[in-house]
Amino acid sequence: MDLPTVVGIVASVAFLVRLLPQPLRLARTGVPDGVSPMAAINIAVSELAWLVYGLVEGLVPVWAVSLVSLPLALWTVGLLRRQVGRRDLAGGAAWLAVMAATWALGILGLALALSVVVNYGPQVVTALRSDRLEGLAPATWWLALLDAATWGAYGLVVADPELILYTVVLSTSAGIILVRIRQTAAPIPGDAVPFALGAEAA
């Protein structure tokens, strides 16, 4: 295999592994504090768009990765369903409309290149505004740095500016979120009862 292929495979594996810690943490702890529902919805919409784009363009690596990542993204949304508000739904619907419009105009690839801002921007904002980030999985964001680095390397190898943009935005987002997780880390009081995802509030 040539260098671009090897780097592309490593980057794809890093991307998929990064998607696991967050839903696993939500499912295990039932604590959603600090996790942005809008970001989760936007990521699911983007993964659907990437799947369609890969199938239409005949790009096997793109649709193959999306075929695995889409269910994980939808699982995360499902775990956060009790936290989803009207603004989150409106944001997700607007992003879906953008995806549909750019597909109709034949520029879906360009919109997808910018999707990293839409996907992770809401999570950065939530992390900056909230002092309770117990629901965030730190492993997700450490792996995001690896994800960004490997895709950045691939972008340099194949001279793809969109992938370099992805690297810059994702690594910056991950760095901010990791700093905020560290800043807000505190033991949960012994009498605190974690919110059970999917359970009705008393």
Q: What is the pLDDT of residues 20-37, one digit of tens each?
A: 999 999 999 999 999 999
For the beta carbon of residue 199, count every other beta carbon within 10 angstroms: 9
> Over pLDDT 70: what percentage of the chain?
92
Task: Tell me the pLDDT band of 200, cut-offs 50, 70 and 90.
Answer: very low
Rounded to an integer, what distance in angstroms lies between the CA atom of residue 74 and that of residue 15?
16
Q: What does pTM read for this prediction?
A: 0.82
Range among 7-16, 140-149, 182-191 rated most confident: 140-149
Encode pLDDT of 176-189 as tens digits. Answer: 999 999 999 865 55
DSSP H helices in 80-188: 86-104, 108-113, 115-129, 138-158, 161-184
- List CB contacts of 90: < 8 A, sequence separation 6 or more: none
Rounded to an integer, what distance in angstroms lies between the CA atom of residue 27 and that of residue 76?
9
Amino acid 187: pLDDT = 58
